[in-house]
Amino acid sequence: MIIAIDGPAASGKGTLGKRLSEHFGFAHLDTGLLYRAVARVMLDREIDLADRDAAHQVALNLDVTDLDDPRLRGAQMGEAASVISGYQPVRDALLAFQRQFAAQPPGAVLDGRDIGTVVCPDADVKLFITAASEERARRRHLELQKRGERIVFETILEDIRRRDERDMNRSSAPLKPAADAIILDTTHLDADAAFQAALDLVRAKSGRA
Protein backbone atom coordinates (compact mmCIF):
# COMPACT_ATOMS: atom_id res chain seq x y z
CA MET A 1 0.00 0.00 0.00
CA ILE A 2 1.26 3.46 -0.89
CA ILE A 3 0.08 6.68 0.75
CA ALA A 4 1.10 9.81 -1.16
CA ILE A 5 1.06 13.12 0.70
CA ASP A 6 1.70 16.40 -1.09
CA GLY A 7 1.45 20.03 -0.11
CA PRO A 8 3.29 23.33 0.22
CA ALA A 9 6.01 24.16 2.74
CA ALA A 10 5.09 23.93 6.45
CA SER A 11 1.60 22.59 5.74
CA GLY A 12 2.19 19.75 8.20
CA LYS A 13 2.52 16.98 5.63
CA GLY A 14 5.80 15.70 7.07
CA THR A 15 4.39 15.30 10.55
CA LEU A 16 1.30 13.60 9.16
CA GLY A 17 3.41 11.31 7.00
CA LYS A 18 5.48 10.20 9.97
CA ARG A 19 2.47 9.59 12.21
CA LEU A 20 0.53 7.70 9.53
CA SER A 21 3.54 5.50 8.82
CA GLU A 22 3.88 4.69 12.51
CA HIS A 23 0.16 3.92 12.81
CA PHE A 24 0.14 1.48 9.90
CA GLY A 25 3.65 0.12 10.37
CA PHE A 26 4.83 1.48 7.02
CA ALA A 27 8.15 3.00 6.01
CA HIS A 28 8.21 6.80 5.69
CA LEU A 29 10.17 9.06 3.37
CA ASP A 30 10.24 12.83 3.50
CA THR A 31 11.25 13.30 -0.13
CA GLY A 32 12.06 16.95 0.45
CA LEU A 33 15.13 15.80 2.40
CA LEU A 34 16.55 14.36 -0.81
CA TYR A 35 16.55 17.80 -2.43
CA ARG A 36 17.80 19.43 0.75
CA ALA A 37 20.66 16.92 0.85
CA VAL A 38 21.63 17.78 -2.72
CA ALA A 39 21.52 21.48 -1.81
CA ARG A 40 23.65 20.88 1.31
CA VAL A 41 26.36 19.13 -0.73
CA MET A 42 26.40 21.98 -3.24
CA LEU A 43 26.59 24.66 -0.54
CA ASP A 44 29.32 22.77 1.33
CA ARG A 45 31.33 22.54 -1.87
CA GLU A 46 30.59 26.20 -2.67
CA ILE A 47 28.87 25.25 -5.93
CA ASP A 48 26.48 27.83 -7.37
CA LEU A 49 22.89 26.60 -6.96
CA ALA A 50 22.20 27.88 -10.47
CA ASP A 51 24.60 25.25 -11.88
CA ARG A 52 22.07 22.68 -13.13
CA ASP A 53 24.68 20.23 -14.40
CA ALA A 54 26.46 20.19 -11.06
CA ALA A 55 23.17 19.71 -9.23
CA HIS A 56 22.41 16.75 -11.49
CA GLN A 57 25.76 15.12 -10.76
CA VAL A 58 25.32 15.58 -7.02
CA ALA A 59 21.84 14.03 -7.22
CA LEU A 60 23.18 11.04 -9.16
CA ASN A 61 25.78 10.39 -6.48
CA LEU A 62 23.74 11.32 -3.42
CA ASP A 63 24.56 9.35 -0.29
CA VAL A 64 21.17 8.78 1.34
CA THR A 65 22.84 8.24 4.71
CA ASP A 66 23.20 12.02 4.78
CA LEU A 67 19.44 12.45 5.23
CA ASP A 68 19.86 12.47 9.01
CA ASP A 69 22.00 15.62 8.94
CA PRO A 70 20.19 18.10 11.25
CA ARG A 71 21.22 20.98 9.00
CA LEU A 72 18.74 19.75 6.39
CA ARG A 73 15.86 21.04 8.52
CA GLY A 74 17.08 24.63 8.55
CA ALA A 75 15.56 27.54 6.66
CA GLN A 76 18.62 27.94 4.42
CA MET A 77 18.38 24.38 3.11
CA GLY A 78 14.65 24.73 2.53
CA GLU A 79 15.13 27.76 0.32
CA ALA A 80 18.07 26.16 -1.51
CA ALA A 81 16.12 22.94 -2.07
CA SER A 82 13.25 24.90 -3.58
CA VAL A 83 15.68 26.23 -6.18
CA ILE A 84 17.25 22.96 -7.29
CA SER A 85 14.01 20.97 -7.10
CA GLY A 86 12.91 22.83 -10.21
CA TYR A 87 15.66 21.17 -12.28
CA GLN A 88 14.23 18.23 -14.23
CA PRO A 89 17.54 16.28 -14.38
CA VAL A 90 17.72 16.42 -10.57
CA ARG A 91 14.16 15.16 -10.25
CA ASP A 92 14.86 12.37 -12.74
CA ALA A 93 17.97 11.32 -10.80
CA LEU A 94 15.99 11.01 -7.55
CA LEU A 95 12.85 9.48 -9.05
CA ALA A 96 14.06 5.87 -9.16
CA PHE A 97 15.07 5.97 -5.49
CA GLN A 98 11.66 7.29 -4.46
CA ARG A 99 9.75 4.69 -6.47
CA GLN A 100 11.89 1.86 -5.14
CA PHE A 101 11.25 3.09 -1.60
CA ALA A 102 7.50 3.27 -2.24
CA ALA A 103 7.37 -0.32 -3.50
CA GLN A 104 8.61 -1.96 -0.29
CA PRO A 105 6.19 -4.19 1.62
CA PRO A 106 3.94 -3.93 3.51
CA GLY A 107 3.60 -0.29 2.50
CA ALA A 108 5.12 3.16 2.47
CA VAL A 109 4.17 6.77 3.09
CA LEU A 110 5.90 9.41 1.00
CA ASP A 111 5.44 13.14 1.39
CA GLY A 112 6.61 15.88 -0.92
CA ARG A 113 5.46 18.09 -3.76
CA ASP A 114 4.79 15.68 -6.63
CA ILE A 115 4.24 12.26 -5.05
CA GLY A 116 0.64 11.83 -6.20
CA THR A 117 1.19 13.44 -9.60
CA VAL A 118 4.60 12.11 -10.69
CA VAL A 119 6.39 9.78 -8.27
CA CYS A 120 3.47 7.49 -7.36
CA PRO A 121 0.54 8.32 -9.67
CA ASP A 122 -1.02 4.93 -8.82
CA ALA A 123 -0.82 5.41 -5.03
CA ASP A 124 -3.66 3.81 -3.09
CA VAL A 125 -4.38 7.02 -1.18
CA LYS A 126 -3.46 10.56 -2.18
CA LEU A 127 -3.71 13.45 0.26
CA PHE A 128 -2.97 17.10 -0.48
CA ILE A 129 -2.30 18.97 2.76
CA THR A 130 -2.62 22.75 2.76
CA ALA A 131 -2.98 25.69 5.15
CA ALA A 132 -3.01 29.49 4.97
CA SER A 133 0.45 30.96 4.35
CA GLU A 134 0.33 32.96 7.59
CA GLU A 135 -0.41 29.83 9.63
CA ARG A 136 2.34 27.89 7.88
CA ALA A 137 4.78 30.71 8.61
CA ARG A 138 3.74 30.68 12.29
CA ARG A 139 4.39 26.94 12.51
CA ARG A 140 7.76 27.19 10.80
CA HIS A 141 8.71 30.13 13.04
CA LEU A 142 8.00 28.05 16.16
CA GLU A 143 9.88 25.08 14.70
CA LEU A 144 12.97 27.14 13.97
CA GLN A 145 12.85 28.83 17.38
CA LYS A 146 12.88 25.40 19.04
CA ARG A 147 16.05 24.61 17.09
CA GLY A 148 17.67 27.77 18.32
CA GLU A 149 17.45 29.62 14.99
CA ARG A 150 16.65 33.30 15.36
CA ILE A 151 14.66 34.59 12.42
CA VAL A 152 11.80 37.10 12.28
CA PHE A 153 8.29 35.97 11.39
CA GLU A 154 7.96 38.35 8.44
CA THR A 155 11.07 36.89 6.83
CA ILE A 156 9.66 33.37 7.10
CA LEU A 157 6.30 34.45 5.67
CA GLU A 158 8.02 36.10 2.72
CA ASP A 159 10.14 32.97 2.19
CA ILE A 160 7.08 30.70 2.23
CA ARG A 161 5.20 32.88 -0.26
CA ARG A 162 8.25 32.97 -2.54
CA ARG A 163 8.62 29.18 -2.35
CA ASP A 164 4.91 28.71 -3.07
CA GLU A 165 5.21 30.89 -6.15
CA ARG A 166 8.29 29.02 -7.35
CA ASP A 167 6.93 25.54 -6.62
CA MET A 168 3.51 26.13 -8.20
CA ASN A 169 4.82 27.78 -11.35
CA ARG A 170 7.93 25.75 -12.16
CA SER A 171 7.88 23.92 -15.48
CA SER A 172 9.08 20.66 -13.92
CA ALA A 173 6.51 18.84 -11.74
CA PRO A 174 4.72 21.93 -10.40
CA LEU A 175 3.07 21.74 -7.00
CA LYS A 176 -0.62 20.88 -7.46
CA PRO A 177 -3.11 18.32 -6.18
CA ALA A 178 -3.47 15.13 -8.20
CA ALA A 179 -6.84 14.89 -9.88
CA ASP A 180 -7.89 12.15 -7.44
CA ALA A 181 -6.25 13.63 -4.33
CA ILE A 182 -8.23 14.43 -1.20
CA ILE A 183 -7.55 17.97 -0.02
CA LEU A 184 -7.15 18.54 3.72
CA ASP A 185 -6.87 22.13 5.01
CA THR A 186 -5.12 22.15 8.38
CA THR A 187 -5.23 25.91 8.99
CA HIS A 188 -7.48 25.56 12.02
CA LEU A 189 -6.34 22.10 13.14
CA ASP A 190 -3.70 21.29 15.71
CA ALA A 191 -1.33 18.36 15.13
CA ASP A 192 -3.59 15.76 16.76
CA ALA A 193 -6.75 16.94 15.00
CA ALA A 194 -4.95 17.01 11.65
CA PHE A 195 -3.67 13.47 12.20
CA GLN A 196 -7.13 12.20 13.09
CA ALA A 197 -8.64 13.87 10.03
CA ALA A 198 -5.94 12.38 7.77
CA LEU A 199 -6.31 8.96 9.39
CA ASP A 200 -10.07 9.01 8.85
CA LEU A 201 -9.54 9.89 5.18
CA VAL A 202 -7.03 7.07 4.69
CA ARG A 203 -9.34 4.57 6.42
CA ALA A 204 -12.30 5.64 4.32
CA LYS A 205 -10.31 5.43 1.09
CA SER A 206 -8.42 2.20 1.78
CA GLY A 207 -10.67 0.33 4.18
CA ARG A 208 -7.75 -0.16 6.57
CA ALA A 209 -8.17 0.16 10.32
CA dist 88 and 37 (Å) reads 16
Residues contributing to the annotated binding site for ATP: 7-15
In a domain, 103, yes or no: yes
Sequence ranges of the binding site: 7-15
**pLDDT tens readout for residues 118-127:** 999 999 999 9
Residues 6+ positions from 21 with CB-CB distance below 8 Å: 3, 27, 28, 108, 109
In a domain, 209, yes or no: no
Say how far apart CA 67 and CA 77 lie, in whole Å. 12
Q: What is the pLDDT of residues 128-172, one digit of tens each?
A: 999 999 999 999 999 888 888 888 999 999 999 998 998 899 888
pLDDT for residue 209 is more than 70: no
Domain that holds residue 60: 2-204
Q: Is residue 12 part of a domain?
A: yes
Does some domain include residue 163? yes
- Give how many domains the chain has, as a whole number: 1
> Residue 146 belongs to a domain with what CATH number?
3.40.50.300
